[in-house]
Amino acid sequence: MKEKLLLVTAAILLAALASAPLAQAFPTVNAYGYTDKSQYKPGETVTLKFWIYNWGPEDIILKNVSIRYPWYNIIWGGNATFTSINFALAKDQNWTPTQTFTFTIPTDGRATGGGIEISFVFTYGGNQYERTDYITLNVASAPWFMSFENMDKIVTLFTVLVVLVIVCTVIIAATIFLAGRRPQVTWKAEQKAE
């Protein structure tokens, strides 16, 4: 009896271990980078240097890399993409673009600081994964000056309003003054005829 119980327990344990999926460590892949200056003004040119590093534990294949600026919009643009890279990135190795990447900060007011988004797609174990990292970009905001247009029209309007207030005040004061000086109406008693 004990042998049967031991045999059944061993069979269940063996079946449980056989059906457990093999654990596979997911690779750690990050994008790093910097710009040539710590802060920019609108209209200045930025030189961006970045690389993608595979920390391991396994090799990956880098497929494509996309760069999006903080002011990215479908209408205005503000992105770049490296496609069909297919670079085998071994553990503890990095991939760097071959060309220097430069762009100009827009001067039309839509440029804001923030992060340059680096998105990259890689394959590992037959599956495709996407990851996004950010590189800091500081843009000095332009001061906003208050400017009044057509100030002469506003001054004319205020002048007319002041004159109207003065005229209305004089009319009201005259009405009060004249109402206070009006003689009182009294009824005289009729004289009796004698």
Q: Tell me the sheet residues that pair with 115.
A: 136
Alpha-carbon gap, residue 140 to 131, rounded angstroms: 29
Report the SS3 class of residue 105: coil
Name residue, tokens 């008693």.
Answer: 189
> pLDDT per residue over 142-174, tens digit each?
666 777 777 888 889 999 999 999 999 999 999
Q: What is the DSSP pairing of strand 60-73 with strand 45-56? A: unpaired
Class of 22-137 in CATH: mainly beta
Provide the mean pLDDT of the chain: 84
pTM, two decimals, is 0.58
In this prediction, residue 80 has a pLDDT band, given cuts at 50, 70 and 90, of: confident
Cα 43 from Cα 16, distance rounded (Å): 65
Mean pLDDT on 174-182: 82
Which residues fall within 8 angstroms of residue 102, CB to CB, at 6 or more apart? 45, 46, 47, 48
SS (H, E, C) 14-59: HHHHHHCCCCCCCCEEEEEEEECCCCECCCCEEEEEEEEEEEECCC
- Would the pLDDT of 100 be above 80? no
The length of the chain, given as a count of residues: 194
**Percent of the chain, pLDDT > 70?**
86
Residues 6+ apart with CB under 8 A from 32: 50, 51, 52, 53, 133, 135
Report whether 104 contacts 148 (CB < 8 A). no
- Total Cβ atoms within 10 A of residue 155: 10
Please tell me the predicted confidence (pLDDT) of residue 111. 78
Q: Where are the domains of the chain?
A: 22-137, 146-179
pLDDT of residue 142: 61
Tell me the torsion sign for CA atoms 159, 162, 164, 166: negative
